[in-house]
Chains A and B, each alone.
Chain A
Amino acid sequence: MRGADRFTLGALLAPAGAFLAAFFLLPLVLMLRTGASGPDGLWTYAAILTDARYLKSLGQTLALAAGVTAATLVVSGIAGLFLSRHRFRFRRLLVAMLTLPLAFPGVVVGFLVIMLAGRQGLIGQITQALAGERLVFAYSMAGLFVGYLYFSIPRTVLTVMAAAETLDPALEEAARACGAGRWQVVRDVLIPGLRPAFLAAGAICFATAMGAFGTAFTLATEISVLPMLIYAEFTVSANIAAAAALSFLLGAVTWAVLALARTAAGGTVAAAG
């Protein structure tokens, strides 16, 4: 690189670099330090991993994120593959419906779960009419699960469809010509071919579910997922050291998951929302 080029490169990157340094790197360093500012000092970081309440929250959040990721991959995998391999009359409409909620904020998704499974929800009305008893699960773990599934499906369907478009249809034709059945084609051609896309989509789904906050906030469940716990520690208990340490732990987990997936799958992987 020539000297003038290097200067130009620096000048182009400088404004964004300065912004990131002031509003991201500096705050992160200060948060790391705040996490060690409580009565336990640096041990706060060890303490959050031994405290029963924090551990329970961490376990629940990990389990929820893993469950949502698995369910999303199955549901979106089937729907996405179907839509990318068949052409029929209302296909465009179906794709539009499946991807409409893309970028709906978590708060709105929480409210939609209430419309579905809350006290005045559709499922409650139907079960009331059919069985005489109102089924309400919006404010439980099941409600959170449904909400997280809701905002994970559109993104993952899009990823699966985009990846399936790039797969060479000749591979499937060849497998079929060799006598492979539908499931054999899926198992031996499509799933291996889509592995990087599934890995990337799964990592984004997992990291987003770990950090999702709006849905849990709207549903106001007694289930304390990690972001809710951080919010409560900061605002209600004013336990700022613990909130900072927990935030750092949460950020480290989601960042590591995305970085691992990126290394394994290649290309860029990042969460959104």
Chain B
Amino acid sequence: MRRDAGFWAGLVFAALVAAFLIVPVILSILAGVTANYQRGILASGVTLAWVARVLDLYAHTILLSVKIALATLVATLVLGIPVAYALARHQGRFARLVEEALVMPVAIPGIATGLALILAWGAVGAFRSHWTFILAGHVLFTLPFMVRAVLAVLLGVGLPVLEEGARSLGAGLLYRFVTVVLPNARPGIVSGSLMVVTLSLGEFNMTLLLHTPFTMTLPVGLADSYASMRLEIGSAYTLVFLMLIVPLLVALQAAADRAAGIGRR
């Protein structure tokens, strides 16, 4: 391929955009391990004291966020896989309608959905201050991602033919579901699961309204530290969050690539 001026201009442009995205992340990571950011990392030295301080102050938010993310995953698996299977088997007008209804919670901003949840369920017993209140919001927001990931894979593997084969051999619905549908849907389930956990761990727009002082999640804690703590603590907290989320994002990319390969087949 020829490497003319256009190529180099494009390369420089793409590199500049990448720098815009990555440089602040690096700055934030460095600030999290710098004794005094104002004086600089070279003058004041490297320390893990801020990270320790964050774990001291905010460990409960990390644990709660992980708990909610895992519970969200279980709920979206239980609710979502049957929906994806039903939609893969019946591609009619009704299926379109179900898909449309399912995607709506994602099309509406989190703050609006959060407000609506509070208006409907905020006064019902102790639900408002229980962590499952946040769980309900997260499931609402992540369910479409699970359904779509699984559905794309199921449509790609030619499910009706596979199932017909199993049925002709006398396999019942439940048996087919376990031995034919689930194994074939696996790449979609993996990429959908990673997506759901990643989104739940980072959800803020809705959670800020849904949380109470007893149910502070990691992103809400981040906002709290940005507003009221020194820059180094906010940075160290961000560092902890990145260590949680970046491996998930990397795995998600790999899983999505694999699932997309099947979806296109």
Contacts and interface: CB of A to CB of B under 8 A. Distances in A.
Which of A88, A97, A105, A112 lies at the interface centre, i.e. has the most chain B CB atoms within 10 A of its CB? A105
Contacts of B110: 211, 213
Interface in B237-253: 238, 241, 245-246, 249, 252-253
A207 B116 contact: no
Closest 10 interchain pairs by CB? A211-B109, A27-B116, A82-B10, A27-B120, A247-B112, A105-B202, A112-B24, A251-B108, A12-B86, A97-B18
Interface in A228-273: 230-231, 234, 240, 243-244, 247-248, 250-251, 254-255, 258-259, 268, 270-273
Contacts of A107: 204, 219, 222-223, 226
Contact of A254 (B107, B143, B241): B107
Contacts of B246: 100
A98 B21 contact: yes
A166 B11 CA distance: 22
11 contacts: A1-B90, A20-B102, A23-B139, A79-B17, A102-B249, A112-B28, A153-B20, A207-B107, A214-B219, A217-B223, A230-B115
B106 A100 contact: no
A99 B253 contact: yes
Given A105-B219, A110-B226, A115-B27, A243 B115 contact: yes
A62 interface: no
Contacts of A141: none
Classify the secondary structure of B's interface with A. helix
Classify the secondary structure of A's interface with B. helix
Nearest to B137: A23
What size tier do the contact residues of chain A reach? 35 or more
Nearest to B143: A16
A182 B198 CA distance: 40
Interface string B26-54: 01100100000110000000000000000
Interface residues of B, number: 85
Contact of B199 (A34, A103, A120, A218): A103
B231 A120 contact: yes
B139 A19 contact: yes
Contacts of B82: 12-13, 15-16
B13 interface: yes
Contacts of B234: 111
Contacts of B120: 23, 26-27, 30-31
Interface of B: 1, 6-7, 10-11, 13-15, 17-18, 20-25, 27-28, 31, 37-38, 78-80, 82-83, 85-86, 89-90, 98-99, 101-113, 115-117, 119-121, 136-137, 139-140, 143-145, 147-148, 173, 198-199, 202-205, 208-209, 219, 222-223, 226-227, 231, 234-235, 238, 241, 245-246, 249, 252-253, 260
A34 B205 contact: no
A8 B85 CA distance: 11
B119 A270 contact: no
Given A227-B111, A258-B107, A86 B231 contact: no
Nearest to B76: A16
Given A87-B1, A247-B112, A247-B116, A270 B38 contact: no
A30 B222 CA distance: 31
Contacts of A255: 104, 107-108
Given A78-B13, A218-B226, A16 B205 contact: no
B108 A94 contact: no
Given A1-B90, A122-B23, A210 B109 contact: yes
B209 A114 contact: no
B106 A268 contact: no
Contacts of A182: 6
Interface in A109-123: 110-116, 120, 122
A78 B18 CA distance: 13
B51 to A, nearest CB: 16
Contacts of A31: 112, 115-116, 119-120
B205 A122 contact: no
A105 B106 contact: no
A24 to B, nearest CB: 5
Nearest to B29: A115
A253 B140 CA distance: 20
A30 B86 contact: no
A254 B113 CA distance: 13
A247 B115 contact: yes
A28 interface: yes
